[in-house]
Amino acid sequence: MKLNESKKQALNPYLPTYEYIPDGEPRVFDGRLYIFGSHDKAGGNEYCQNDYVCWSADINNLVDWRFEGCTYRKNQDPRWTGEAYDNLFAPDVIKGIDGRYYMYYCMAGHDSIAVAVCDEPAGKYEFMGYVHDEFGNEPGAKNGDWIQADPAVLVDDDGSVYVYSGFNPTFTFREEKEYVGAYVMKLKPDMITMVGDRKIILHKKEAGFEGHNFFEASSIRKIKGKYYFVYSSHACHELCYAISDYPDKEFVYQGVLISNVDYGYNGNVQPLNHVGNNHGGLVEINGKYYIFYHRPTNRTMFSRQGSAECLQMDENGHFMQAEMTSCGLNGGPLRGEGEYEAGIVCNIYNTKLSNVDIMDMDSNRKREEKLPYITQEGEDREHNPGTYITNICDSSVLVYKYFDLDDTKHISLFIRGKGKGTIYIETETGKLLATVQNQEEYWNNVDTDIEKMSGVHAIRFRYQGEGSIDLFKFILK
């Protein structure tokens, strides 16, 4: 089962669908956009099981992504044991004042922020050491110390270096550590030695952040002279942001940038996807702003794929919440002709299971057991896309946004399954375009003409019937 990759467009996920890079930090160096993230495994049973790899794209061509290879292996960290859970969590990379590139990360089970260095952004990084004070003490390492996770780094206009960290769960995670919220530490020009003490920038119950308190996933950018701090809130599925005139104090809550279940978008109060954590960062490319984030697949939170959406900024420097789409970096809707992988779906839900409290994890888990989900053929790998959507059962809905349907006359679905029912092909408003029925237990094409439409629309597949089916791809003509 192969897809025709001619006439390429930017899609979500923006990387090939065999790739699982969550926690994506977008960084622009010398005209290229680099994605630095952790690295999940297809169908994994832990977070971040693979070594770091990097992808990049020309800032003038966000369609063609180049695989840069492995940049750092977990066994390069001296504290890696080779056992259990010594995985590499979310990193960040910055160009230092000396022109070299510095990677900051935390390894699971260890509470120091490690630093690796390289002469190029996507080269082979070498371990440098752990962030420490002038006496060699490592913040976060001792019992009772503030817990560290997901470091973010900023080199300010004056050359000052700041590293941001913190972890603030709603549950007891490690009793020997203290959860204070998000904090920052200033570094010397050597990029590894602290200057003075750490400063809390968001207390664990910061006033003005109610309902959106800091959880994890620190990310920092300086935009038009102000400091934008992006983080994952206690709601888990959303990335929020706060703004300050200073790098180390007085951050004020501004709103939600993206929810990977579209919660809150246009007043929506139901999860329109599998609920999972979120992590990402902001980037400006050619005058446009984008938020990078991730979504769960394989019916687990341990196989996450990166997506990106364009953000709208108002005259006051505030962003509106972005909507999940299938065309995030494309600069507009997808063409109403061509072959599309099922895995670019942006909303998955079931109309019989919509009334769920998003913060009730047990209810959500039971709901998600009955939902369709993205998975892939074969083992975890670095080649050959093979994702498809399985468990499409009665009242399941798959949504793809958006397509220019001006000249679209025909649709073909590549499906399989023992299910006996009808797939209703609709727009986002429920206007019926066509219907098809599954014919075979094995992969087969079913096709039909569609109702003439004009303009840009979402395409929604809604299944009614017995049993379940799988969807591999669809073709518009």
- In angstroms, rounded to a whole number, what is the distance separating the alpha carbons of residues 179 and 171? 11
Instruction: From the candidates 23, 150, 309, 323, give the one annotated as an active-site residue.
Output: 23
List C-alpha distances in Å: 270 to 33, 231, 284, 345: 34, 22, 30, 17
- In angstroms, rounded to a whole number, what is the distance separating the alpha carbons of residues 47 and 65? 24
Asked if 232 contacts 238 with a C-beta cutoff of 8 angstroms, the reply is yes
> Which residue type does 139 have?
P
- In angstroms, rounded to a whole number, what is the distance separating the alpha carbons of residues 159 and 297? 40
Instruction: From the candidates 92, 216, 238, 323, give the one annotated as an active-site residue.
Output: 216
Is there a catalytic annotation at residue 23?
yes
Quote the radius of gyration of the chain (alpha carbons, Å). Answer: 22
- In angstroms, rounded to a whole number, what is the distance separating the alpha carbons of residues 226 and 73? 35
CA 418 to chain centre: 33
Is there a catalytic annotation at residue 216?
yes
- In angstroms, rounded to a whole number, what is the distance separating the alpha carbons of residues 45 and 268? 31
Strand, coil or helix: what is 265?
A: helix
In sequence order, what are the residues at sequence separation of 6 or more whose Cβ sits closer than 8 angstroms to the Cβ of residue 226? 243, 244, 245, 317
8 burial level (CB within 10 Å; 0-12, 13-18, 19+): exposed
Asked if 400 contacts 346 with a C-beta cutoff of 8 angstroms, the reply is yes
Count of beta carbons in the 10 Å neighbourhood of residue 323: 18
Length of the chain: 477
Strand, coil or helix: what is 343?
A: helix
Query: Residues with catalytic annotation?
Result: 23, 216
